[in-house]
């Protein structure tokens, strides 16, 4: 299938093909992300106005939109400039006024001739006991009043676009709707009672009541499902393309893994063992693995990743582990080194810092297969890096690797199995939206020996007590993080706040004991400050949120977060997870500035109640919404026009299993339903997916 099916051409024509849309309005529509008739079909009304006719405005609750038939009375032009023009009208029971600002008297005399009857519809408010309707939305002769909808949809607007523009253009776009074959599984559609696609699209633009505007109305559900299904079909095609890629069977004999397990002072958790098993099973299949390892802070992802890398080494291959930054790559190296030594495996690091002879030596060893596991930053992807036999790539996804980048990785010719790790617990609906092309392993329990972290709320007025508490802790040899508030406006203010706090703590605790890290520092200084804290030379590290990204200092057992109410839930959870990694009992002090607003209070209470990252993520999603939760812009998360990820997560799960099943039964989408699904992909502009089918 080479191009868009002809049946969809009218929906993809220019906006100017629609009623009332000229070049200027077409340009303004861009503010609503509307560029063609198709976009208007999926721009749904978000509320409605009841315009059913009543006999009188008397007894109605004010202010509200009312529609009544009236007899036009006297015209009261303004007594002086700047005052409104009023027209008295009488309905079946009472007299009220229509009010116009900056109106021309001759135009009004023509619209509202005294003694004639008119139907008026607009918002009525009481003013000094008199009903007033400023600028009615409709003024029509009784015989024309049928054109006023009983329930009028209200659309989102943007600069230069009125309700009238959208209503008219949307109505015109609806006349272009083709009859399309059904792509939804017939059993599912019957069970849910969903209308056909065209009927659904017409229904959502002509709601008869507030109930029909709800997400739960069958027509809206159907359109939301179409959108999610197209998205999941794209991900399922990407998954199938990866699995079709020349995977190699990677089976180990367990000898290296057993050495590591013997060297551990504890037994892996059930969740870790389950994840290790799932990964080893995938590696042994001829298809390429594309798996997500999702685990909370401190759930023991490193061990699981190393076990996967060791399978590759046992099978005679190599593994690579990629981190987003130098500091994290070095930390992975530190975490893996003792375990790799226990297994007797050669582990090396490659970053942008490696230059000249040293880099050349590493590259030669890598090409010869002498380096078995490589840890690195994205520098491992430069053209001159060649592996002897790369079997597995583990990507530490601190900076979201979208579906597109995952596909690029696979296209590098050496198509290794892929394991993506994320430390952000993601609610199921979002993980399906973002990682629906992958199989998921979840680490949902903490390894033994991780002690709970005591979390307390303290108001900023008690800062002196907090500093006292720190003084004692430091004297006992403990270490602490002090995170300064995040100032949205500017990094400079962030920096000043951090520097001020640093000076005050240094004065209180002693010269050499306090370190400082913030975003404006040159990397070398930042590394030095971190290194000083890791080595234990400085006891308290004052920072902006730079530290949330995976730094691990097991002696640090106190986390102070200043103005905690200004942070998001997930961020607070990640910050708290920086402590509680060592022997000492750990505390997290959330300092807030009273009075707290409802959202701020709720966030801090959730943190005090639970350390379960998945529960925190669900709460965060409920409070903030999907777009905010992962920052749509950088997450590669699709923007849905109809579907609502927070409230329709069950539809997303349904769409995923349905999409995978359809491809399983009909990989080339050649059955009747498969062909209909291709049309859906064109309709939903999933061009990537279409390329994947044609490649297949």
Alpha carbon distance 135, 123 (integer Å): 8
Q: Which residues pair with 393 in a beta bridge?
A: 320, 418
SS3 string of 499-529?
A: HHHHHHHHHHHCHHHEEEECCCCCHHHHHHH
pLDDT for residue 68: 92
What domains appear along the chain, each with residue ranges and CATH number?
6-47+157-214 (no CATH), 52-148 (2.40.50.140), 255-443 (3.40.50.300), 453-610 (3.40.50.300)
Question: Does the pLDDT of residue 492 top 60, yes or no?
Answer: no
> In 3-state terms, the chain is what percent helix, strand and coil (to 5)?
45, 20, 35
pLDDT for residue 312: 94
Alpha carbon distance 603, 568 (integer Å): 8
Question: Does the pLDDT of residue 696 top 70, yes or no?
Answer: no
190-199, 203-212, 686-695: which has the minimum mean pLDDT? Answer: 686-695
Taking Cα atoms as reference points, which of 340, 299, 308, 548 lies closest to residue 448? 299
623 contacts 569 by C-beta, under 8 angstroms: yes
Question: Does the pLDDT of residue 572 top 80, yes or no?
Answer: yes
Measured in Å, how far apart are the chain's first and last C-alpha atoms?
11
Q: Where are the alpha helices (DSSP H) in 248-325?
A: 255-263, 270-283, 301-314
Threshold 0.85, pTM exceeds:
no
Segment 173-204, tens digit of pLDDT: 999 999 999 999 999 999 999 999 999 999 99
Give the pairing of strands 390-396 and 130-134: unpaired
Alpha carbon distance 629, 659 (integer Å): 25
Per-residue tokens: 200:
């659904």
Alpha carbon distance 60, 693 (integer Å): 59
Question: Does the pLDDT of residue 285 top 50, yes or no?
Answer: yes
The DSSP-derived string for 89-130 is EE-SS-EEEEEESS--HHHHHHHS-TT-EEEEEEEEEEETTE
**How far, CA to CA in Å, does 638 sit from each of 11, 193, 230, 231, 583?**
21, 27, 11, 8, 43
Question: Does the pLDDT of residue 645 top 90, yes or no?
Answer: no
Backbone angles phi, psi at 25, to 5 degrees: -65, -40
Taking Cα atoms as reference points, which of 168, 317, 176, 203 lies closest to residue 252? 317
Helix axis angle for 672-683 and 687-695, nearest 10°, is 140
Segment 218-272, tens digit of pLDDT: 999 999 999 999 988 988 887 777 666 666 788 888 899 999 999 988 889 899 9
């Amino acid at each position: 299938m080479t191009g868009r099916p002809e049946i969809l051409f009218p929906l993809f024509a220019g906006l100017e093909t629609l009623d009332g849309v000229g070049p200027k309005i077409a340009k303004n529509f861009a503010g609503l992300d509307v560029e063609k008739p198709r976009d208007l079909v999926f721009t749904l009304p978000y509320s409605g106005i009841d315009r059913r006719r009543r006999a009188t405005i008397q007894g109605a609750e004010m202010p509200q939109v009312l529609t009544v038939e009236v007899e036009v009375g006297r015209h009261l032009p303004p007594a002086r400039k700047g005052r409104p023009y009023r027209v008295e009208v009488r309905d079946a029971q009472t007299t009220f006024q229509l009010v116009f600002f900056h109106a021309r008297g001759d135009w009004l005399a023509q619209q509202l001739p005294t003694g004639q009857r008119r139907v008026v519809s607009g918002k009525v408010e009481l003013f000094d006991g008199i009903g007033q309707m400023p600028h009615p939305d409709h003024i029509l002769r009784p015989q024309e009043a049928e054109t006023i909808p009983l329930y009028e949809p209200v659309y989102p607007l943007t600069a230069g676009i009125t309700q009238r523009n959208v209503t008219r253009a949307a109505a015109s776009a609806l006349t272009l709707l083709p009859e399309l074959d059904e792509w939804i599984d017939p059993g599912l559609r019957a069970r849910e009672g969903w209308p056909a696609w065209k009927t659904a699209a017409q229904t959502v633009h002509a709601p008869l009541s507030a109930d029909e505007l709800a997400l739960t109305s069958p027509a809206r559900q159907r359109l939301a499902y179409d959108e999610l299904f197209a998205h999941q079909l794209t991900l399922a095609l990407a998954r199938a393309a990866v699995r079709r890629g020349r995977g190699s069977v990677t089976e180990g004999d367990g000898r290296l893994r057993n050495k590591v397990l013997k060297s551990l002072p504890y037994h892996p958790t059930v969740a870790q063992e389950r994840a290790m098993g799932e990964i080893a099973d995938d590696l042994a299949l001829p298809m390429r693995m594309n798996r997500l390892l999702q685990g909370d802070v401190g759930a023991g992802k490193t061990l699981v990743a190393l076990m996967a890398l060791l399978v590759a080494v046992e099978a005679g291959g190599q593994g690579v582990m990629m981190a987003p930054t130098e500091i994290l790559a070095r930390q992975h190296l530190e975490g893996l080194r003792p375990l790799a030594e226990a297994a007797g495996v050669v582990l090396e690091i490659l970053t942008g810092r490696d230059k000249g002879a040293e880099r050349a030596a590493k590259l030669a060893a890598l090409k010869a297969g002498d380096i078995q596991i490589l840890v690195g930053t994205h520098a491992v992807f430069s053209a001159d890096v060649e592996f002897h036999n790369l079997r597995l790539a583990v990507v530490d996804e601190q900076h979201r690797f979208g579906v597109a980048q995952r596909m690029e990785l696979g296209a590098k010719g050496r198509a290794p199995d892929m394991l993506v790790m994320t430390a952000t617990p993601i609610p199921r609906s979002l993980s399906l939206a973002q990682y629906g092309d992958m199989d998921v392993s979840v680490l949902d329990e903490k390894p033994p020996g991780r002690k709970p972290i005591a979390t307390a709320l303290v108001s900023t007025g008690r800062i002196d007590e907090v500093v006292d508490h720190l003084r004692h802790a430091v004297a006992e040899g403990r270490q602490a993080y002090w995170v300064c508030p995040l100032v949205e406006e500017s990094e400079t203010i962030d920096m000043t706040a951090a520097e001020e706090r640093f000076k005050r703590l240094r004065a209180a605790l002693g010269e050499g004991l306090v370190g400082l890290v913030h975003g404006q520092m040159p990397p070398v200084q930042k590394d030095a400050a971190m290194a000083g804290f890791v080595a234990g030379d400085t006891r308290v590290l004052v920072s902006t949120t730079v530290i949330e990204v995976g730094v691990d200092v097991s002696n640090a057992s106190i986390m102070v977060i200043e103005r905690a109410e200004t942070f998001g839930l997930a961020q607070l959870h990640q910050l708290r997870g920086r402590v509680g990694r060592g022997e000492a009992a750990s505390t997290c002090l959330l300092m807030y500035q009273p009075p707290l607003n409802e959202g701020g209070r709720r966030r801090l209470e959730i943190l005090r109640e639970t350390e379960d990252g998945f529960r925190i993520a669900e709460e965060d999603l409920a409070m903030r919404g999907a777009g905010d939760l992962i920052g749509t812009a950088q997450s590669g998360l699709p923007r849905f026009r109809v579907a609502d990820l927070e409230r329709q997560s069950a539809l997303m799960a349904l769409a995923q299993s349905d999409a995978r099943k359809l491809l399983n039964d009909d990989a080339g989408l050649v059955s009747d339903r498969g062909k209909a699904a291709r049309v859906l992909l064109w309709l939903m502009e999933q061009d990537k997916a279409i390329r994947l089918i044609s490649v297949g």
